[in-house]
Amino acid sequence: MSTTPRHHRHRRGPADADRRERAARDSADRGSGAGVTGTGVRGWFSDGRAADRGRIGDLSARFLGAATATYAAATLVRPSVLAGPLRLGTSPATDSLVRAVGVRDLASGLAMVATGRRACVVASAVRIGSDLGDAVVFGLSDLPADARRKAVGVALGWAALNGAALALRLRAPHRD
């Protein structure tokens, strides 16, 4: 048994370079975009930056979905989490309305986390539409001015974040 570390036992020679060059040529002939380039090994996609945008968009959408689902679960348990900052007051009707919005947000948030690319794109679009709808409804409501501004700002902020994640996702190469 040799005491030489395993990674030192095999030295790369000219045959290895030829094999890598042939693999890169074959890969380019197949059009997969994978292979060796002048700057190093590329990923599975022909545009590595587009693939990175897709991964960032995917992770962002999933993170926003998880945050949405978590907040929605909190509003289901304690409606005052949403009703308090908006000064909606406390009543059985208010609690029911807040919980209904919580169910909607929980469903869309979980869909963003637990689905494949295409379904997550749809769930993100639903989430954006819901946030824009919330902004319109809160903007036209008779809430106190500061609560109305806060509600509209938060809804538009979430719509913008989800829109940015969706845009990154849509600009990436399709994997499924």
Q: What is the pLDDT along the chain (176 residues), one digit of tens a residue?
A: 556 555 555 555 566 666 667 666 665 555 444 444 444 444 444 455 655 666 777 888 889 999 999 999 999 999 999 999 988 888 999 999 999 999 999 999 999 998 777 888 899 999 999 999 999 999 999 989 999 999 999 999 999 999 998 888 887 665 55
CB atoms inside a 10 Å sphere around CB 162: 27
Here the tokens at position 174 are 């399709």
Residues in the chain: 176
Q: Is the dihedral of CA 101, 112, 131, 74 positive or negative?
A: positive
Among residues 163, 114, 110, the alpha carbon closest in space to that of 135 is found at: 163
